[in-house]
Every structure is written in C-alpha cells, then in structure tokens.
Amino acid sequence: MDGMAALFEPHAVIDSGGGQLTFGREAIRTMFAEVTATGRKFQSGDQRPAVINGDLALTSTRLPDGTITTEVARRQNDGTWLWVIDRFSVA
C-alpha cells in the first residue's frame, strides 16, 4: 500500500471513524496494509469536483452505499497535490 500512502503529506492525518486517528505517512502506510490484509476492498464512487482556494482543496466522493469521504489536499511546491486530512466515509 505504498502507493496509497504516497498520496499523503508526511504529517497527514486520517480519521477512520470511531475516534480513531492515524497520524503520519508511515502509520498511514501501516493502516492501509492492515486493512487490505483483512481482504477489505476499497469502494470506488462518484468523485465530486474539488473546491479549490489557493493552495488548499476540498475533495469528496459519494460511495455506492451513500456514505461520503472528505479530504483536504495542499498544493506542493512542484504543483502536485497531497492530502493532509482524510475522513473516511461519513453519513
């Protein structure tokens, strides 16, 4: 799951619900590895247009079960975007 973790800034945070926060790219890498080891599949959904203000962007996806993911990305010096905050599906 190195590919997934590479989408996050080094000090990013993921809120996966239930008060569970994962801090930092290494912990995020471990979390994704543990989730996929259980056989859980990540759903694809309807990605909504990003809302951009300067070097910040709010992204979200509506999943088939109706839940919504939300993320905050920051533009990097090289022009690419990395997530700094990720909230897994919320109702």
Distance of CA 43 to the CA centre of its chain: 13
Q: What is the pLDDT of residue 14?
A: 95
Q: What is the pLDDT of residue 1?
A: 45
Q: What is the pLDDT of residues 18-32, one digit of tens each?
A: 888 999 999 999 998
Contacts of residue 71, defined as CB under 8 A and 6 or more positions apart, other chains included, come to 58, 59, 60, 83, 85, 86, 87
Q: Is the CA virtual torsion 10, 12, 16, 21 positive or negative?
A: positive
Q: What is the pLDDT of residues 29-73, one digit of tens each?
A: 999 888 888 887 777 899 999 999 999 999 999 999 888 999 999
Spelled out in words, what is the top-level CATH class assigned to the domain 2-90? alpha beta
Q: What is the pLDDT of residue 39?
A: 83
C-alpha R_g of the chain: 13
Count CA atoms closer than 13 A to 85's CA, side-chain side. 9
Domain ranges within the chain, ordered by starting residue: 2-90
